[in-house]
Structure formats: C-alpha cells, structure tokens
Structure 1
Amino acid sequence: MDSGAELFDQATPHGSQPPTVPVFGVDPYADDFLTDPYADYEAFRDAGPVIRLSRYNAYAVARHEQVQAVLTQPDIFCSSAGIGLTNFKKEKSWRTPSIILEADPPDHGPKRRILTRILSPAALKKLREEFERQAAFFVDRMIEKGTCDGIKDLAEAYPLKVFADAVGIPAEGREHLLPYGDLVFNAFGPINERFEKRMASAGATMEWIKTICSREALTPDGFGSQLYAAADAGDLTEDEAALLVRTMLSAGLDTTIFTLGNAVVALARHPEQWALLRDDPSLARAALEEVMRYESTFQSFYRTTTQPTELAGVRIEAEQKIWVGIASANRDPRRWEDPTRFDILRRASGNLAFGTGIHGCVGQMIARMEGEIVLRTLAERVAELVPAGPPTIHFNNTVRGFSAMPLTVTAKAS
C-alpha cells in the first residue's frame, strides 16, 4: 500500500508465535519520494526494526542500530551478491561487479589495502596545499561573480579539478565524469526509467572512461599510475588496475560533489548556522560531519543474506536482498537528539554517511579533507551566503544532491 504499512506474517520454527513484518508499497526510487524522503523514512523507522518493500521484494532496515548491524556483519550480509537490487548469485548482471565495493573476504582485503596505501594520510598531506589553493581560487571567483551557482561554480568545479588531477585524469573530456558517476549510482537501484535513460546516452561517456583509465592516458604521478605500479609489482592484474581507477572516479568524485553541494544548500537555507561557521571557521570539520548526517549523500544500497539469520527478532532466509537506509539511520531519533534540526555544533561523529565496517568508504579521508577545506575557505572569505532562488534536486537511485543552487555571495571585509 502506498500510504502506510501492511503486516507480513514471518514464519518461525517450532510453532512459536511469528513476529509481523510491516510491508510498504511505496517506491523509494520515485521522484516524489526522492524529492523529500524524510517523512517516509520516519514511517519506516516507526513501523519496526525490519520492514519489507513489496514493490522490490526486499527486506529493509531504516533504524541506526539495524543499519549498523547489517553493515558490520559481512559474513551474513554480503556485498558480493551486488550492492544494488540485482542478486549476482541468482541473476546475470549487465555490468562487471566492482572488485572493491562488491567483493567480500578474502578477495576484498588485498585490493582494499592497496587503495588504503595509495590514499594514506602521508599521501593526502602532500596534496593539501594545492587543494587549499584551488579552494581559494573557486571561492574568490564566486565572490567576483556576486550571483553564482553554488553547485556548478564550487561543488562540481572543485572536485572535478583537484580530485581528477590527483587521480591523474587528463583535463580534456572531464565533462564525461558526471554522467559516468550518475550511471554508476543509478545502477545500484532498480532498472527503472531513470537508469535506462542514462544508460541510453552513455555510449560516448563509456568509451572516454575506458580510454582515460588506461595506463597510457594517466599522468605519471597520480593515484591511477600508482595502481598500475601495483600491477607491475604483481599485486593486481592490469585489468584490475583499470577497474580500480574507474572505481575511484565514481566512488571518489560524485559522492564528494554531492556532499559539497548538500553543504552549500544546507548552509544557505540555515543562515544562523552559516553565521556560526563564518564567525568561527574552525567549525568546518564539525559542519561537514553534520551535513553528512543531516543530508546524507548516500541514501541507500543493498546487502544480501548468505545464510538463514535473525535480525531484530525477524527470521530472514538466505539470498534475500536487504535495502539499507543510510540516510534514514542518520536521522534516527533513537540515535540522535532532535535529528531533523541542522546544527553544526552537534557531535555528529558516528554518522553512517560513508558506511562502516570493512566496506566503509576507502576514500573518506580525502573526501573529508576536500569538504573541510572548502567549508573553511568559504567561512574565511565569504560574509554573506544568501539563496538567490530555490535549489534544483538531482534525481538518482542511490545518491542525493542538487544540480543547481543560485546564490548571492559577498566578501568579508579585509
């Protein structure tokens, strides 16, 4: 049913009284749901610790406790069957599974360690000065314009410059990176009209991606070339190095773009919070964490049960898809006081925006560095950050963000 929950009798052994599992008929990928999902998330959480989404024949968890439990037990709730709706164990996938996002131990560990080494704190420290310089450039350009687009002029432009440079991607053709990421994250939901439309227009983009992820196309000093060096050392195959470069360009770019955009929108919509940050730029890291909790970039993805199990008293058989509501968990009042309030003074650590457990985002340190630098630079240089029109939401099956945010920006007095 579309406006509430039905009850689903959950079979249990030995004649014991089975629990009832609320069943929702809503489509969490519909435009009206994605425009403002938070009332539905509240209904999911209030209905019970485990529910069912009948439209997709999937269990779902929307409370913080159960989301964390699913993400931290990969032996029971696996990623290797796909973090999208398709079950790779039972259905043929139209795409090659990610060798990092959709792999479980023992295959997952060695490749993740390579990425962790490449994205180490020491490596990121070397990038910081250039990242700060570029943030100042883009913020100053916004100030010069006076009226600008916080998404196009900052949230998109900054990572497309600094992160793509860090990976070693050539400058020409970077406009393909956004539709590529959009395709990847749409693929973690159902094969719906939104996905099919993006897929139909992806030909030139996919050809460009294939070309620029090759060894020959990458700059010699970037993360991408370091992956090929790992292949030369025998730690990866040549094909695996190419696939990991592609993973970096989706997981490491789009999530940062949407997080920065969500930050700009949240601060512009809450002038009292912007004033706190403007007056104390050292709050940049705390502000970023609260943005990730309040307006999570990742809305949801899936895990698959490897065996019969029990979750919050609900018996779930093997090979069942479970919708994992990251954004809902980050607004769960069982975990957060007054969770619908945006408050940059809140201790928002413990949010699940980057996941948790062995599949927690391997690039979260660089994403956090980019976000902190941008917010600190805005706070240090901008006096007023005022909406000049409503934001435009970007619809995607997995990630939440905006495609435009008109702003009026004025400089701080020198």
Structure 2
Amino acid sequence: MTLIEGHKPITPAGGVAVWDVDPYDTEILRDPLEYYANLRAQGELTYIPRYSVLAVGRYEITRKVFSDHENFVSSRGVGLNDFKLEDPWRPPSIILEVDQPDHTRTRKVMSRALSPKVVKGFAELFQDTADRLVDDLLEKGTIEAVTDLAEAFPTTVFPKAVGMKDVNARHLVDYGAMVFNAVGPDNALRREAMRHAGEIVPWINAACARDRLSADGLGAMVYASADDGTLTEAEAGMLVRSFLSAGVDTTVTGIGNALWCLSQNPDQWDALKADPKFIRPAFEEVLRYTSPVHTFGRTAGRDTEIAGFPVEEGSKVICVLGAANMDPEKWGDPEVFRVDRKPVGHVAFGAGIHGCVGQNIARGELEAVLGALIRKVDRIEPAAEAVWRPNNAIRALDRLPITLIPN
C-alpha cells in the first residue's frame, strides 16, 4: 500500500464535500480566518484530496469528533502520520498519543502534578517574576513582545517549577516548535524544524533526566510515580519531557496572542484594567479568538461515521479547532474580541479525556503576567505590524512590536 503523508489513502463517502485546498500553506497559516470560514461553508465533513484526509471545522461536529476517543483514537498519532503504519520520529507521547486504559494511568500522574493546588503553590514565583519583568520592560518602553515577554516569562518560571537544573531558553522554545510542526505534512516548515533535532532532542532528554532535577519540583513528583510502581522510570522521563510542550510552548503562544489581542483592542484593555476580575475570562477569550493550537488530528480506530457519513477504519481526520472557535453558529459574533464573553466550551485546549493537561499552569502563568500589566501599564500600543509565525499546528506570533505606556 502506498501511503500519503504516512497514512493510508481513503475514498470519501458519497455526498462528502471535496475541497482542493492546502491547510498547511504558509499564507493560510499566517492568516487563517478565510480558510476557517470556507471550511465551515463546505458542510459538516470535507475531504481534502491533497492529503487524503477528512476535515471538520463546524463547532458541534468538531467538538464531538475530537472528544470521541472510542471511535477516533489518538494512539495512531495526532498528526498526519499513522503510527500503526509508520514509525514516528520520536517515541509516541504516553499522554497525548495513547488511548484508554493506559491514558488514565498516565493522565492521573500528570493531573496530580499539575493540579490547581500545586499550581497555586507557584503563584508567588509567577507573580514576582512577572512584576520584575514588566518593570524592566517599562524602562525600555517599546519592546519586541514575543522574545522580551512571551518567551522570556515561561522560560524563566517553568524550568524552576519543574526543578530543571539546566536551562536553555532557545532550546525550550524550539523544541515546542519542532513537536508541533511534526504533526503536519513533510513540508518546508516541518523539515526546517526537524533540522535542529540532532542538537535539541539530546539536550532535552538529558535536562529532564532524574539526576538533573531538584527534589522539590514537578519533575520529582512525576519520578515519584516510578518509585511507587505507577510508572516505569522511562515512562516518568517521557512525562517530564511532556511538561515542556504543555508548560512552555503553548504558554508562550498564549501570552503573545493575549498581548496582540489587547494591543489591537484598546477598549478591551481599558475594560480589563477597570475590572481585573475579567483576567480569567479574558484569557479564555484569547484562546477562543486566536486558537493557539489550530489543528490536531485523530484516526478512525474502526469503521464509524461523522454527521451520518460513513468513515472507514484508518481514515485520518483533521479537527480544525481554530475554525470551530470562530463558528458564528456557536458564538454569534466570533470576530469580535470581548474580555467579558466567558466563552465556555471553546476547544482551544481540546475536549474530552485529551483536554490539555497543562491548562492549569498556563492559566496561572498568564494571570500573573496580565495582573502585572494591569497594575503597572496604562496602555499597550502597537509599535509596528505584527508578524505571525506559520506552524503546522500552532498559531503563534513571530514578532510583536508594542509600546508599554506606564500608569
């Protein structure tokens, strides 16, 4: 059998819309809103012949497929490659790319390590770091917000929370870009990201080893599960490495996207300053509005159906979370950014048993940053055009020049 991007080609059922589009085209990845709208307009289910995949983008059907772990499995990869047919470039994640019952075992360990109670214990670290960083940036005035704040904050606090003794901020950020680009096709973005694997992956593996972690961090909590027999030592190491995408890359993206939203919508920044209780809803709205994870895949684990259309076993389905989060049938006015929206049910952190396990710590970090900005900054003004960084799974900024005006 000849594979297409590592999975078997499929023949769509009669009546399924066929759309000749490349979802991983760099221009679409930089500015995806028209693509999102066109995907929803195709109908409940769309076949994309370029990659021989099915795609969903309307809110209700996307949430249903993405959370249906019984029919649409993660163990065969959340990208285009089918791990049943082709070996992945790295060992599959034992939390993201695993099914029940194994998922319950590893998820329990990660959920305990990243529980609200544990994250609350880092609140002082997060807030003190955010305050110092914002004070330093206010002295500069005009900053490049991606590197100066969005990357600088998580790569400072998260290694401390994990208990890492070795820190390389560039490797931490680039590792996330590599992991998420790898879920797409073998395009230029994936190849460029993977070009650094020979240097970054050995460093990540070494930095997450038990003897390179302190005894009082999140990493030690995970390795303790190897001591009590819940995990093997090797599995514990894999879960610690999973922290780095859960706690660094998605948080970098969330902070950068939040700064972009607030700089583009000064009235919403004013509303947030006037009533800081909107910090949490504001972050949820950032997630809905920008969908930091824009696309993740599933594989039909058996013959099943989507919206009444038969779907054969082995079919790859891309769930376009960004399109679902901008569906007017769900949100009414999705193109409007509102800090008071409270967008309960958005799928930016996934849905079902595979909802992002790192979301508590991501929220804790962003709340600290927004809290510091609210207390110290009067206005966040664009200093030049924002530049988005195309990525096969993440919608993140490459450059965001802004000026911070102090209170």
TM-score normalised by length of structure 1: 0.93
CA distance in 1, matches of 2:95, 2:60: 25
Give the equivalent residue in structure 2 for 1:71: 66
The one-letter code sitting in structure 2 at the alignment partner of 1:407 is I
Aligned ranges 1:9-408 → 2 under 5 Å = 11=13, 18=14, 20-408=15-403
User: Could you tell me how far 1:42 is from its partner in structure 2?
Assistant: 0.5
The one-letter code sitting in structure 1 at the alignment partner of 2:323 is S
User: Could you tell me how far 1:10 is from its partner in structure 2?
Assistant: 5.1
Any stretches of 5+ residues in structure 1 without a counterpart?
1-7, 12-17
CA distance in 2, matches of 1:216, 1:9: 51
CA contact (8 A) 1:9 1:21 kept: no
Give structure 1 regions of 4+ aligned residues with deviation exceeding 3 angstroms: 8-11
CA contact (8 A) 1:288 1:375 kept: no
CA distance in 2, matches of 1:34, 1:55: 16
CA contact (8 A) 2:54 2:316 kept: yes
SS in 2 for 1:197: helix
CA distance in 1, matches of 2:59, 2:340: 21
SS in 2 for 1:403: strand
CA distance in 2, matches of 1:74, 1:396: 25
SS in 2 for 1:353: coil
CA distance in 1, matches of 2:364, 2:82: 35
CA contact (8 A) 1:148 1:407 kept: yes
User: Could you tell me how far 1:35 is from its partner in structure 2?
Assistant: 1.4
SS in 2 for 1:408: strand
CA contact (8 A) 1:282 1:376 kept: no
CA contact (8 A) 2:299 2:315 kept: yes
The one-letter code sitting in structure 2 at the alignment partner of 1:291 is V
Any stretches of 5+ residues in structure 2 without a counterpart?
1-9
CA distance in 2, matches of 1:137, 1:305: 48
SS in 2 for 1:240: helix
The one-letter code sitting in structure 2 at the alignment partner of 1:73 is D
User: Could you tell me how far 1:301 is from its partner in structure 2?
Assistant: 0.9
User: Could you tell me how far 1:280 is from its partner in structure 2?
Assistant: 2.1
CA distance in 2, matches of 1:25, 1:167: 44
User: Could you tell me how far 1:95 is from its partner in structure 2?
Assistant: 2.0
Overall identity of the aligned pairs, in %: 43
Q: Deviations over 1:23-62 (max 9, x none)?
A: 1221111111111111111011011011011111000110
SS in 1 for 2:340: coil
CA contact (8 A) 2:20 2:49 kept: yes
Which structure carries more relative contact order (alpha carbon 8 Å, separation 6+)?
Answer: 2
SS in 1 for 2:18: strand
Q: Deviations over 1:335-366 (max 9, x none)?
A: 00111111112121211110010000111111
RMSD: 1.4
CA contact (8 A) 1:298 1:353 kept: yes
The one-letter code sitting in structure 2 at the alignment partner of 1:386 is E
CA distance in 2, matches of 1:152, 1:94: 28
The one-letter code sitting in structure 2 at the alignment partner of 1:78 is V
TM-score normalised by length of structure 2: 0.95
CA distance in 2, matches of 1:282, 1:87: 44
CA distance in 2, matches of 1:198, 1:148: 26
CA distance in 2, matches of 1:203, 1:383: 45
CA distance in 2, matches of 1:37, 1:145: 33
The more displaced of 260-269 and 227-236 is 227-236
The more displaced of 255-264 and 362-371 is 362-371
Cα 1:239–1:149 shift into 2, 3 Å: same
CA distance in 1, matches of 2:37, 2:390: 21
CA contact (8 A) 1:231 1:238 kept: yes
The more displaced of 78-87 and 167-176 is 167-176
CA contact (8 A) 1:280 1:379 kept: no
